[in-house]
Amino acid sequence: MTLTLKSTIFGLLASLFFLSACTGLTLSVQFKQIDGLKQNDPVIFNSTTIGKVKTISYTKDADFLVSIQIQKEFSHAATEDTQFYIDVSPLSSNSKSESKAVFLEQNNPGGKKLDPGTIVQGTSKRTLIPYAKALESLGQTLENAFSKMLTDIEKIPESDQYKNLKKKLSELKTRLESSSKEMQENIRNDILPKLEEKFKEIIKSLEQQGQNDKARELEKDFGKLQEI
């Protein structure tokens, strides 16, 4: 085998190796807003950079189509159960101008992998994950409990409703204290305001019945939630 032929074969093998190393899973994620996301910003899964943003285009439907490339060894991160959202990149070094990243989060690990070229729907912010949905459900339970107390307010001292409400308030407080700052903010902004109006009605009704001690106890419990 001549030196020229050997060089040619070596060059072809090197090119093939380089191409295989560069290949990966390319997807398109549709966003309503991109919050400052740019080309070459990282794609992150489980605190690991697994790819980058290739291109960003503006569609006729007033959406942004973000093409991302995920390294082949991390292709399992993109499944039908994966959530795609934009947030501040942990690689951002300038607090005055934070760079962004596309994050992948699997709500149910082990789902069916996405095919190359798939277009998926993303969100500009992280949406509720199962744990957060549980908190939201608890908030709805509290709201129902408040409504029940308002329709049967005169029986509060003699029924289990009062104890049940205090238990639910305590449970929500415990979960809030163990959740992330982001989740605490969601609960404070989305759930507690919905409960506060009904809560005030309950307090007023208890006071009118001379149940000031019960009113003060509930007031104190609800205040603890607002302080978190």
Q: What pLDDT was estimated at residue 157?
A: 52
Please tell me the predicted confidence (pLDDT) of residue 53: 96
SS (H, E, C) the chain: CCHHHHHHHHHHHHHHHHHHHHCEEEEEEEECCCCCCCCCCEEEECCEEEEEEEEEEECCCCCEEEEEEEEHHHHHHCECCEEEEEEECCCCCCCCCCCEEEEEEECCCCCCECCCCCEEECECCCCCCHHHHHHHHHHHHHHHHHHHHHHCHHHHHHCCHHHHHHHHHHHHHHHHHHCCHHHHHHHHHHHHHHHHHHHHHHHHHHHHCCCHHHHHHHHHHHHHHHHC
pLDDT value, residue 42:
95
* pTM confidence score: 0.49
Averaged pLDDT, groups of 10, the chain, 228 residues long: 48 44 81 91 91 92 91 92 88 68 82 92 66 58 62 55 73 68 69 76 81 84 77
